[in-house]
């Protein structure tokens, strides 16, 4: 074990516990348990809101996977990754005030609360819960495995031990502290990610003898590395642009991100968060992916993309600095899984248990159920991460695009288009997810675009046309919904 690397990591894991204890006080005293536990009492300020959005979105792939691909592909991949800057301001301003106002009107705590009130349909809620539980459980397991692997390699312990340490650290503060603990730890984790990015970028530029020198070496190896088209010239403008849907504007529809758009205190918090979010996302994405490319000049010949960042960090930085930089990907993993864990738990407790199983449950009972479901889910993820089943890995591949195709129109048009109805929402969810999985199997990257593009467009057409076709059904009910949502 490398002590210099391990000490910063241990300090950082211990901090998470402290935050958990701090936030647990609010859970204990809070007037409304559900709103506090799953939404932090709708009390987030600008900085915390920005950081929890960035940190929840930024995952292991921003720090390990992405830079590894950039190492092999060149500046073209950095260009692609910059499509993510849009998430910093777009999600908040599109869902923005409308979501915040509406959620308060109907007292929504989860995305499903919103969908249930908006469409007044059991099937919408069930479909959406199924999507959330399946897709997010799978992505959570994948991140969990990533977290275990990272701890394993940085701390020099076995995978089983690493996974156990990881589980304990995450579970503890999420279970006792709820959303407030998640948002606060995300803020700390976001700072670690931000600072880690700056250190490794600067370190790599120095190690490579300056940017000009690095560029010359890249051109000497393969001039394509500094073009927008990738090392083998295969990155077409259309393909790269299509990532603006997958990792750009489509992020609006990820439930773990969207739910944050109803968690903030006031307009000012949202405005501040848009500015901070844009800056932090941009610096992390630009910095990490650029480092990946620069690494090729500093340390050529690394074969496995995922090992680029750890190898680079350990060889060019003194060990105490390396510890801080290596904490960044772990921070990214922790800040993603904590939100997913709470979200899946809220789908099970708030959307299924309270709505359909035991609507009369007492506050105390809800509290016990919430804490135990969150803890049980965590243990379940832990167990499945020890020997991950193939199905889980397979599902994880669809999670990101599948959630976007399922939720984008029911959420966005549900907010802005009065005629949207339950028939439209149900068919667009089924069509979106169905066509995404089918297309991915049969004809991935159809017409040279990322697979997610066509399903997102298809589900838009389906949502609008089915809503219009069924306009004359349930007229009264639709009018009631419009009254509740749009009129005062």
Partner 1 sequence: MDTRKDKKIDPRFKVSNREALIAIGLAIINFLWWYGFAYGMGSAPVEEYTFVFGLPAWFFYSCVAGFIFITILVFIVVRFFFSDVPFENEGKEEETQ
User: What residue ranges bind partner 1 (CB under 8 A)?
Assistant: 75, 78-79, 82-83, 85-86, 88-90, 93-94, 96-98, 100-101, 104-105, 210-215, 219, 223-224, 226-229, 237, 241, 244, 248-249, 266-268, 271, 274-275, 278-279, 282, 286, 416, 479, 483, 486-488
Task: Report, in Å, the least distance between residue 367 CB and partner 1.
Answer: 25
Using an 8 Å Cβ cutoff, are 125 and 248 in contact?
no
Instruction: Render 82-109 in DSSP notation, one character per residue.
Output: GGGGGHHHHHHHHHHHHHHHHHHHTT--
Task: Report, in Å, the least distance between residue 377 CB and partner 1.
Answer: 31
Exposure on the CB side of residue 387, measured as CA atoms within 13 A: 0
Nearer to partner 1 (CB atom), residue 148 or residue 248 = 248
3-class SS string, 431-460: HHHHHHHHHHHHCCCHHHCCCCHHHHHHHH
Nearer to partner 1 (CB atom), residue 377 or residue 456 = 456
3-class SS string, 274-321: HHHHHHHHHHHHHHHHHHHHHHHHHCCCCCCHHHHHHHHHHHHCCHHH
Using an 8 Å Cβ cutoff, are 96 and 277 in contact?
no
Nearer to partner 1 (CB atom), residue 416 or residue 447 = 416
Nearer to partner 1 (CB atom), residue 160 or residue 222 = 222
Handedness of CA 194, 199, 202, 203 (dihedral sign): negative
Task: Report, in Å, the least distance between residue 176 CB and partner 1.
Answer: 28
- C-alpha span between 460 and 465 (Å, rounded): 8
Nearer to partner 1 (CB atom), residue 31 or residue 487 = 487
Nearer to partner 1 (CB atom), residue 237 or residue 300 = 237
What are residue 44's DSSP bridge partners? 264
Nearer to partner 1 (CB atom), residue 378 or residue 410 = 410
Q: Which residue has the tokens 């275990």?
A: 148
Nearer to partner 1 (CB atom), residue 210 or residue 389 = 210
- C-alpha span between 205 and 196 (Å, rounded): 14
Please report how the helices 475-486 and 111-119 are oriented relative to each other, as an axis angle in degrees rounded to 10.
Answer: 130
Other Cβ atoms closer than 10 A to 446: 14
Other Cβ atoms closer than 10 A to 96: 18
Task: Report, in Å, the least distance between residue 282 CB and partner 1.
Answer: 4
Task: Report, in Å, the least distance between residue 267 CB and partner 1.
Answer: 4
DSSP 8-state code for residue 362: -
Task: Report, in Å, the least distance between residue 382 CB and partner 1.
Answer: 38
Nearer to partner 1 (CB atom), residue 8 or residue 96 = 96
Within 8 A by CB and 6+ apart from 28, the residues are none
Nearest CA to 193 out of 87, 13, 327, 82 is that of 327
Task: Report, in Å, the least distance between residue 173 CB and partner 1.
Answer: 28
Task: Report, in Å, the least distance between residue 228 CB and partner 1.
Answer: 4
Using an 8 Å Cβ cutoff, are 74 and 148 in contact?
no
Nearer to partner 1 (CB atom), residue 363 or residue 482 = 482
- C-alpha span between 296 and 224 (Å, rounded): 13
- C-alpha span between 300 and 293 (Å, rounded): 10
Task: Report, in Å, the least distance between residue 254 CB and partner 1.
Answer: 17
Task: Report, in Å, the least distance between residue 193 CB and partner 1.
Answer: 17
Nearer to partner 1 (CB atom), residue 262 or residue 321 = 262
Report which secondary-structure segment, H or E, holds 121: none
Task: Report, in Å, the least distance between residue 278 CB and partner 1.
Answer: 5
């Amino acid at each position: 074990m490398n002590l210099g690397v391990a000490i910063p990591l241990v300090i950082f894991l211990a901090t998470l516990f402290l935050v958990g204890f701090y936030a647990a006080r609010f859970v204990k005293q809070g007037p409304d348990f559900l709103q506090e536990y799953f939404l932090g009492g709708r009390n987030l300020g600008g900085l915390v809101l920005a950081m929890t959005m960035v940190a929840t979105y930024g995952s292991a792939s921003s720090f390990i996977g992405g830079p590894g691909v950039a190492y092999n592909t060149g500046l073209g991949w950095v260009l692609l990754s910059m499509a993510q800057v849009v998430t910093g301001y777009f999600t908040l301003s599109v869902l923005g005030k409308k979501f915040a106002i509406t959620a308060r009107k109907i007292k929504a705590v989860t995305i499903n609360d919103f969908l249930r009130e908006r469409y007044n349909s059991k099937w919408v809620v069930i479909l959406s819960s199924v999507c959330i539980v399946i897709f997010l459980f799978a992505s959570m397991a994948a991140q969990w495995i990533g977290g275990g692997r990272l701890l394993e390699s940085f701390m020099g312990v076995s995978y089983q031990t690493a996974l156990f340490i990881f589980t304990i650290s995450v579970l503890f503060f999420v279970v006792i502290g709820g959303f407030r603990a998640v948002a606060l730890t995300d803020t700390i984790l976001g700072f670690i990610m931000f600072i880690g990015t700056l250190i490794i970028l600067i370190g790599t530029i120095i190690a490579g003898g300056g940017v000009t020198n690095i560029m010359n070496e890249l051109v000497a190896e393969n001039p394509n590395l500094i073009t927008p088209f990738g090392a083998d010239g295969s990155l077409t403008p259309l393909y790269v642009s299509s990532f603006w849907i997958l990792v750009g504007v489509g992020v609006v529809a990820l439930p773990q991100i969207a739910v944050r758009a109803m968690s903030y205190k006031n307009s000012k918090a949202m405005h501040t968060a848009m500015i901070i979010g844009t800056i932090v996302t941009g610096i992390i994405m630009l910095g990490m992916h650029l480092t990946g490319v620069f690494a090729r000049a500093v340390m050529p010949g690394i074969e496995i993309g995922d090992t680029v960042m750890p190898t680079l960090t350990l060889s060019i930085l003194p060990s105490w600095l390396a510890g801080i930089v290596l904490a960044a990907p772990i921070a990214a993993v922790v800040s993603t899984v904590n939100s997913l864990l709470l979200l899946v738990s809220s789908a099970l407790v708030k959307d299924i248990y309270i709505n359909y199983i035991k609507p009369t449950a007492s506050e105390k009972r809800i509290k016990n159920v919430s804490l135990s479901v969150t803890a049980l889910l965590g243990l379940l993820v832990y167990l499945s991460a020890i020997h991950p089943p193939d199905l889980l890995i397979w599902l994880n591949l669809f999670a990101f695009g599948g959630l976007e195709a399922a939720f984008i129109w029911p959420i966005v048009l549900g907010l802005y288009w009065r005629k949207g109805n339950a028939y439209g929402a149900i068919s667009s969810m089924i069509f979106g997810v169905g066509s995404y999985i089918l297309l991915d199997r049969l004809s991935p990257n159809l017409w040279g675009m990322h697979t997610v593009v066509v399903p997102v467009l298809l589900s838009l057409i389906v949502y609008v046309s089915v809503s219009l076709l069924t306009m004359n059904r349930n007229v009264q009910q639709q009018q009631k919904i419009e009254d509740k949502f749009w009129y005062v």
